[in-house]
Amino acid sequence: MKTRIVILSLSAIMLFTACEPEADLYRNFHLKEGEHFASPRLVESLQSSRLAFYAKFDESCRYIFEETSFQDCKNKLLGFSDCNNMHHENSARFTWQWFNNQMEIYAYCYVNGERIEKFIGVVELEKENRYEIELTPDAYLFKLNDQESVSITRSATCTKGMYYMLWPYFGGTLPAPHDMHLSIKIIY
What's the average model confidence in pLDDT over 152-164? 84
Q: What percent of the chain is predicted at pLDDT more than 70?
A: 87
Tell me if 119 is assigned to some domain: yes
Least confident stretch, 115-129, 158-172, 174-188: 158-172
What's the average model confidence in pLDDT over 92-113? 97
Edge-to-edge, what's the strand order for the sheet holding 139-144?
Answer: 27-31, 180-186, 50-57, 129-135, 139-144, 150-153
What pTM, to 2 d.p., does this model score? 0.85
> Which pLDDT value is given to residue 135?
92
pLDDT tens per residue, range 32-73: 999 999 999 998 888 888 999 999 999 999 999 988 889 999
Q: Residue 14: pLDDT above 50?
A: no
CATH number, domain containing residue 49: 2.60.120.200
CB distance 154 to 160 below 8 Å:
no
Hey, is 10 helix, strand or coil?
A: helix
How sure is the predictor about 23, in pLDDT bands with cuts at 50, 70 and 90?
low
Specify the DSSP class assigned to residue 157.
T
Q: Residue 182: pLDDT above 50?
A: yes
Phi, psi of 131, deg, nearest 5: -125, 145
Tell me if 12 is assigned to some domain: no
Arithmetic mean of pLDDT over the chain: 88
Q: 158: domain range?
A: 25-186
Tell me if 5 is assigned to some domain: no
Tell me if 36 is assigned to some domain: yes
Tell me if 60 is assigned to some domain: yes
> Which pLDDT value is given to residue 161?
66
Question: Which of 163, 87, 162 shows the shortest CA–CA distance to 95?
Answer: 87
> Which pLDDT value is given to residue 127?
98
Tell me if 15 is assigned to some domain: no
Q: How many domains does the chain have?
A: 1
Torsion, Cα of 81, 83, 88, 94 (10° steps):
-40
- Sign of torsion, CA 162 165 171 175? negative
pLDDT tens per residue, range 72-83: 999 999 999 998
